[in-house]
Amino acid sequence: MHTGKSYSLPLILLTTAAFSSMGGPALAPALPAIKAAYSDIPDIEFWTKTLLSVSGLFSAIGAPLFGWMSDTLGRRKSLVLALLCWGVCGVSGMIAQPFWLLFVGRMGFGLSLGGLLAANTAMIADSFSKEKQRRMMGLQSSCSSGGVILSLLISGMLADLHWRLAFGIFLTAFLVLPFAWKLPEPVRRIEHEGGKQRVFLINHLGPVLLFFFGFMAMFSFNIVPTQIPFYMQTVGVQNSAHIGMALVLLPIASLISSRLYARVSKPFGRWNFFLVAGGVLLTGFYVLFLLEGLASVLTGLLLIGFGFGLAMPHVNVTLAQIVSPEGRGRALGTLTSFKYLGLFFSPILLQPILASKGYITMFHTSGWLMMAAAVFVFGFGTYHQHKTPMEKSA
């Protein structure tokens, strides 16, 4: 466990947490220029947009893979390998190449992106205990939100110079690598609770509930970057600056609430807090149409950001506490995979609702799906806790 002797540990973990959220946002400002550079390719607009989604899909593959590696090779080695791949695959876009190689590079980047988040979360879970772990998970989520904001700003400026320079933001990996290599390997204690050792098995209800919640949270959250810009135009918000302001508000709100997560969640029980996060998210989706124009969007996104900033660290903390250290990497990797799958399937599964019923019904549906997921996890999680002795004392 973390003893305080390695002062660089929290800094490196929080820095790599910021890196784990910089995949899509860092590339987004360069997409129009990439489309123009490869304009001779048929359907290039579709393939350019796919550069973002393919990294998310491969993140769902990389997360459990690196989670398994962290359980077998060690947390530090897994983190270093994911960081190295993140830097190499990310920077590869700076080199002149055919589009298909750029596409392959984003696949490799996706693997490393999911692996980086999985390895980072597993190392936080093993390096800190109790309240420190809760605080670090909140800080991890805050830094992820901060990473989105910084990557949008920095890569946008670089892309104005040349679109290939936008990939230069991933050079930061090589500044952090030497310090990550020197991190101590955390000690994975064999914990006993209620006279029984905790184990990770896929047929245990607790982890499965959390995988489901992680999927649903990202499923609902992905409405913001994929649908809100178009919705704002339907309510009369045409100014690009206002749209950009609305999108940046979400990670800012998430950063604030996740920073307060350890303090806010303390009075609530483990499973009860899912109702709190789900309720805030549901309220955010409803506010999107209760008010009019820009005020509606900004207030709704503020609440969605707050809810997301509470939900993400809590699902990580809860899973880290109910599985054994030996299976923690695989469990957190699987959770990360489900989150990325939620991102990937969100626009696909919600499109029929949007096409037939419109934005308002889609917001309704997403909000209630999120709340239903929270109630489901609360109900079955509480039942599982009362039924399982080792859960009662956790």
List pLDDT tens digits, range 201-215: 444 677 888 899 999
Residue 157 and residue 225 share a domain: no
User: Domain end: 153, 181, 209, which one?
Assistant: 181
Q: Are residues 167 and 219 in the same domain?
A: no
- 187, part of any domain: no
pLDDT of residue 276: 93
Which tops the pLDDT comparison, 195 or 10? 10
* Confidence (pLDDT) at 7: 54
Q: Do 339 and 205 share a domain, yes or no?
A: yes
Q: Do the domain assignments include residue 49?
A: yes
Q: Which residues contact 122 (CB under 8 A, 6 or more apart)?
A: 67, 70, 71, 75, 78, 328, 329, 332, 333
Same domain, 79 and 209: no
Whether the CB-CB separation of 251 and 305 falls below 8 Å is answered with yes
Rounded to whole angstroms, how far apart are CA atoms 166 and 104? 17
pLDDT tens-digit series, residues 104-138:
999 999 899 888 988 888 888 888 877 788 888 88
Count of domains for the chain: 2
Residues 280 and 337 both lie in one domain: yes
With respect to residue 3, please indicate whether it lies within any of the assigned structural domains: no
For residue 322, being part of any structural domain is answered with yes
> What CATH number does the domain containing 269 carry?
1.20.1250.20
* Residue 116 falls inside a structural domain: yes
Distances (CA, A) of 137 to 100, 330, 350, 358: 37, 18, 30, 36
Are 25 and 125 part of one and the same domain? yes
Q: Are residues 136 and 161 in the same domain?
A: yes
158 lies in a domain? yes
| pTM of the full structure | 0.77
Q: What is the pLDDT of residue 393?
A: 43
Both tokens of residue 94?
């700076």
Q: Say whether both 205 and 96 belong to one domain.
A: no
196 shares its domain with 177 = no
Residue 361 and residue 234 in one domain: yes
Are 164 and 243 in a shared domain? no
- Domain limits for position 44: 8-181
Hey, what are 254's tokens?
């998430």
Show which of 161, 181, 201 is a domain's final residue. 181
Both 54 and 160 in a single domain?
yes
CA angle 384, 326, 389 (to 5 degrees): 25
Q: How far is CA 4 from the centre of its chain?
A: 27
Domain presence at residue 186: no
* Lowest mean per-residue pLDDT among 132-136, 187-191, 235-239, 324-328: 187-191
**Alpha helix locations (H) across the chain?**
8-19, 23-27, 31-37, 44-72, 75-91, 99-127, 130-161, 172-181, 205-221, 223-234, 240-259, 261-265, 273-290, 293-322, 325-357, 359-387, 389-392
User: Cα(252)–Cα(269) distance, rounded to whole angstroms?
Assistant: 27
**What whole-number percentage of the chain has pLDDT above 90?**
18
pLDDT class for 310, splitting at 50, 70, 90? very high
Q: Is residue 379 part of a domain?
A: yes
| Mean pLDDT value across the chain | 81
Among 137, 155, 181, give the residue marking a domain's end: 181
Distance of CA 7 to the CA centre of its chain: 25
User: 114 near 334, Cβ under 8 Å?
Assistant: no
